[in-house]
Amino acid sequence: MTLPELTPAQRTEVELLARGKAEKSRTLRDLKLPETPESAHTLLLRLGVWNEARTPYADRLGASLTHLTLDVPDFAPEQRLDLSHLPAYAIDDEGNRDPDDAIGIEALPGGLTRLWVHVSDVAALVPPDSELDLEARARGATLYLPDQTIGMLPDALVEKTGLGLHETMPALSISLDLDADGNADAVDVALTTVRITRLTYLGAQARLEAGEEPFVTLARLARASKELRDSEGALSIDLPEVKIRADEHGATVTPLPKPEMRFVVQECMTLAGWAAAIYADDHDIPLPFATQADPSREVRGDGLGAQWARRKTLARTRFQPSPGPHSGMGLDLYAQATSPMRRYLDLVVHQQLRAALTGREPLDGKVVAAHIAQATLNADATRQAERLSRKHHTLRYAATQPEREWEAVVVDRRGPQATLLIPELAYDLPLSTPAPVGTVLKVRLVDVNLPALSMRARTV
């Protein structure tokens, strides 16, 4: 096909269809091309109007690509529990720019250990139905793309509330008094002042392996907690994860290391969500409680095939203003409570807890339910845009290495068709092969098609 010369108006028309902002394109119809966003995307690439770095998925799904620039108020003076004498650590991936949680411990009489999970006090600056709150609700979550991050809230708010960005910080802190076996004797929530040290997972892991406190005790408590949740039916899915970075010049995909401290932090965040839910239930505070039905079937084994199958048995997490069991967590009630600057429903949890702590009336259950419905819809678009953009840049990365041999594992079968998982890319794709689940194959990746978000694997 001879490439056409497009007028500026035709180019705009085709771009609108590629971005999902139009349903039809007379230009594509005249060229006898399908009037689809994928066909428009293909034409724009072939004409050089767009390059391979361009991703249209956030536009198509209605996820905002605009950075918020609203004014952010300062923290107002208020009574807080001073915990600045207790060491606490915000542990994240290298390069993290929005540290919103930190962990520490405090020894108590009787052999108990108080686990502190400090969370940035975003709700102090973002009350319900404020302009900042309405914007955050309209987005639902921060949009993390391989080439940029679009915050749910302004960067200025992250600067003011991020833990460890200043010598001492206001926080909303959740505590659990735990015995040596991980059983909780008491839970509490308080407005606090904290002093936070920032660490990477690998830095914290090095201190754990050196036998330093509080990392040794944190790891012991996390293991005990996980054993208790496992005994209640909690499911752990251990599949490969990667970090994807992209710019105008290319994309990279790097396997994400999984040191034990990553698990320790995740377990502490789970305990904080459980404690927040218990506190809210005890005080009749409506929250966006996270619930999950039982898995559709039991899957045994620990290989990648079993992990893949186990993930497919999980029901979607649902949010409701009253507590209910969360099967995957192995908990009788649970609320996501540790990412209020990145997830809107976490912010609602904080707004509700903060209202109760300061003597104000929390939102009633009907209002919380309405916020859940709106934010969930918007967050779904954000998560889908992230997934498609990550896939796009993974294809860009694979396309630069057509001769590379990748290790792939058969993780599922449907008749003659198998699903392969490439651990180094955390990417799955179909292949016609008789190989059973669990087989390791060597493949090359061919026929990369960015607009269709597809490529094929060919065994070596």
DSSP string, 286-335: ---EEEBPPPSS-----SHHHHHHHHHTPPPPEEESS---BTTTTBSS--
More confident residue, 96 or 288: 288
- How far is the C-alpha of 326 from the C-alpha of 343, rounded, in Å? 19
Question: Domain for residue 68, yes or no?
Answer: no
pLDDT tens, position by position, 28-62: 999 999 999 999 999 999 999 999 999 999 999 99
pLDDT tens, position by position, 399-410: 999 999 999 999
pLDDT band, residue 98 (cuts 50/70/90): confident
Check: pTM over 0.85? Answer yes or no: yes
Place of tokens 């990746």: 445
Helix (H, G, I), strand (E, B) or coil at 68: coil
Question: Domain for residue 430, yes or no?
Answer: yes
pLDDT tens, position by position, 331-361: 999 999 999 999 999 999 999 999 999 999 9
Judgement on whether residues 221 and 308 belong to the same structural domain of the protein: yes
Question: Domain for residue 396, yes or no?
Answer: no
The CATH number of whichever domain residue 22 belongs to comes to 1.10.10.10
Judgement on whether residues 317 and 440 belong to the same structural domain of the protein: no
Judgement on whether residues 204 and 298 belong to the same structural domain of the protein: yes
Sequence-ordered list of residues with C-beta below 8 angstroms from that of 215, at least 6 positions apart, any chain: 204, 207, 208, 261, 264
Q: Which of 327, 361, 386 is the last residue of a domain?
A: 386
pLDDT tens, position by position, 174-223: 999 999 899 999 999 999 999 999 999 999 999 999 999 999 999 999 99
Judgement on whether residues 228 and 308 belong to the same structural domain of the protein: yes
Q: Which of 356, 386, 416 is the last residue of a domain?
A: 386
* Of 327, 350, 324, nearest in space to 337 by CA: 350
Q: Which two tokens stand for residue 425?
A: 């890319």
**CB neighbours (10 Å) of residue 335?**
29
Question: Domain for residue 367, yes or no?
Answer: yes
pLDDT value of residue 4:
76
Q: Which two tokens stand for residue 406?
A: 């990748």
Judgement on whether residues 146 and 22 belong to the same structural domain of the protein: no
Domains: count for the chain: 3
Question: Domain for residue 76, yes or no?
Answer: no
pLDDT value of residue 1:
52
pLDDT band, residue 97 (cuts 50/70/90): confident
Judgement on whether residues 174 and 293 belong to the same structural domain of the protein: yes
Judgement on whether residues 337 and 416 belong to the same structural domain of the protein: no
Sequence-ordered list of residues with C-beta below 8 angstroms from that of 211, at least 6 positions apart, any chain: none
Q: Which domain holds residue 24?
A: 8-50
Quick one: average pLDDT of 70-86? 96
More confident residue, 98 or 372: 372
pLDDT band, residue 112 (cuts 50/70/90): very high
The CATH number of whichever domain residue 416 belongs to comes to 2.40.50.140
**E strand spans, 382-439:** 406-414, 417-422, 427-432
Of the CA atoms within 13 Å of residue 128, those in its CB half-sphere come to: 19
Q: What is the DSSP letter of 111?
A: G
Q: Which two tokens stand for residue 360?
A: 């104000």
Question: Domain for residue 2, yes or no?
Answer: no
Strand pairing partners for 458?
A: 444
Q: What is the DSSP letter of 131?
A: H
Strand pairing partners for 193?
A: 82, 170
pLDDT band, residue 172 (cuts 50/70/90): very high
